Amino acid sequence: MAFIAGPVPESFERRVTATPQEFARDLRQAWPAVVAEAGGLRFSLHEGVQALVIAIEPAGVRRLGLFELPQLDVRFRFGPGEEPARRALLARLDRGMQKGGG
């Protein structure tokens, strides 16, 4: 989910479908230099001078009939930097973590 209609704020939240382990694995594949902290519930990464801290928290299960999907609340907090740098970092991260589907 990209911020197409407006600027990327300094902090925001998303709800994603993944377990903490799946999120960490996908994040490491998208950004190999990511640093995990707090038992795998907090991550930090840098691109140039722009920093990003990502915190995840389990948010229960979404049920669709018999199908159950684990949910995470994901909080993104950028360090000092300009909006174009936030946008570039987030676009690169989103592309790297994008999954197949419709």
Residue 59 in contact with residue 71, Cβ under 8 Å? yes
pTM summary value: 0.89
- Residue 12: beta bridge partners? 76
Instruction: Give the whole-angstrom CA distance, residue 70 versus residue 90.
Output: 23
**What is the structure's pLDDT at 96?**
87
Mean pLDDT per 10-residue section of the chain, whose length is 102 residues:
74 94 94 92 94 97 93 96 92 84 48
**Of residues 12, 85, 17, 83, the one with CA closest to residue 53:** 12
Residue with tokens 């389990």: 58
Instruction: Provide the residue ranges of all domains of the chain, joining segments of one domain with +.
Output: 11-97
Fold of the CATH domain 11-97: Ribosomal Protein S8; Chain: A, domain 1 (3.30.1370)
What CA–CA distance (Å, rounded) separates 28 from 40?
11
The position carrying tokens 């018999």 is 66
Which pLDDT value is given to residue 1? Answer: 53
State residue 102's pLDDT score.
44
First to last CA, the chain: 13
